[in-house]
A and B are shown apart, each in its own frame.
Chain A
Amino acid sequence: MNWTIFHEQVFPIRHKLYRFALRITGSVHEAEDVVQEVLEKVWKTSADHSATVQNWEAWCMTLTRNRSLDKTRSQSLRRTAPLENLSERRTDTLNPAEAAESNDLTENIKRMMQELPEKQRLVMHLRDIEELTYDEIAETLSITLDQVKINLHRARKTIRTMILERERISG
């Protein structure tokens, strides 16, 4: 692996890889381990294989996804774990104004996002948080472009329905 490529294209996306791993594993420690393993694997990639990689970010995201799913499946992490961990970490990044605005609705939205079916959850994460193109999402998740659009549409629709329902009840 070329040190320059690693530092310019791979290392800067470590936070993105971490968020993606965190979204899948739901565990801060597991996600950190995943990032460590993925970066090591990328670094040890042979020169011949490196030459074949067109999009380092998409490739790293795919590795992260696979490793995270392996960890999740092997350890059978509970679905409730992600919410606690995500909330715990997020409070560090809130400024006072945002913290003040934070209410039950944001917590509900977080929970709803985390409880979406796996594909919808990952597509929504990659699009709305990581801002990947449809093509990049399809490549990362190894699904078709149509599946990306369908899953994104369903995920947003679910979230919107929940928001409107809550608005109707409270209003």
Chain B
Amino acid sequence: MFQLQHIEALLEKFWEGDTTLEEERMLKAYFASGQVDDSLKQYAPFFQVLRQEQAVELQRPPVVTEIRPVTYNWKPWLAAASVALLLSAGWWWHSRPNVDVPYTAEVPRSTTPVTQPEAPVQPPTAQLASETPVQSTGFFRRKINAHKPSPTPQLNEEEEKAMQEIKAALALVSSKLKKGRQEAVKGTEHLETMDKVFKKKRDGEG
């Protein structure tokens, strides 16, 4: 049973906003019990309104499609793509021709005079290989002295001529650009001078 003094105290706390949810539920239960003391009856309609409000329900049932939303799970695909990329890169690295030993096939065997006695000539491949030792460590093969500059290719006459023409053309372009830049600097200086003149004139008028 509800004790009037307790309810009155709770009610005071309620109006001050100091009650807990549990105390508020107790008050609601008291005013819903139908045994409200006459001294508190003026508050009964307020709690009745709260009860009515709590009973309001949605009449139109919401419609939500049961089809699962389309979600793109891209993580497995990303992992698979990464693995494939890694394997491709490894295969390419492993199977690529060793670009650091390109001259083995170009060594002109024909330059060797046929008339010379057949001395035990070492195969050029072996010779070059000894100059540029290759470290073979299973999957990876790296040339040890990879930092060595590659031999400068010899140019024939036509190539030399073409190179000279290209150089001349580039020199011409460079000189034009230089001249243009100088002109631009001159123009800027000219504009600045004019600006100063106008400013002085304006100040003088002011």
Contact = CB atoms under 8 A, between A and B. Distances in A.
Chain B contact surface mostly: helix
A11 to B, nearest CB: 8
B21 interface: yes
B2 interface: no
B58 A90 contact: no
Contacts, number: 100
B129 to A, nearest CB: 56
Contacts of B42: 163-164, 166-167
Nearest to B21: A131
A66 B14 CA distance: 29
B158 interface: no
Given A14-B62, A93-B56, A106 B48 contact: yes
Interface in A14-37: 14-15, 17-19, 22, 28, 31-32, 35-36
B52 A98 contact: yes
A149 B56 CA distance: 25
B50 A129 contact: yes
Nearest to A156: B15
B46 A109 contact: yes
Contacts of B46: 109, 159, 163
What's the interface size class on A, roughly? 35 or more
Chain A contact surface mostly: helix
A157 B14 CA distance: 10
B155 interface: no
A142 interface: no
A90 B52 CA distance: 6
A5 interface: no
A14 B69 contact: no
Contacts of A6: 64
Interface of B: 14-17, 21, 24-25, 42-46, 48-60, 62-66, 68-69, 71
Across chains A and B, which 7 residue pairs bring their CB atoms closest together, nearest first? Answer: A153-B17, A18-B58, A93-B55, A105-B45, A106-B45, A15-B57, A129-B53
Given A17-B58, A36-B63, A152-B17, 11 more contacts: A3-B66, A40-B62, A43-B65, A90-B53, A90-B56, A105-B45, A106-B45, A149-B17, A153-B17, A164-B42, A166-B42
Interface of A: 1, 3, 6, 11, 14-15, 17-19, 22, 28, 31-32, 35-36, 39-40, 43-47, 86, 89-90, 93-94, 98, 101-103, 105-106, 109-110, 113, 125, 127-129, 131, 133, 149, 152-153, 156-157, 159-160, 163-164, 166-167
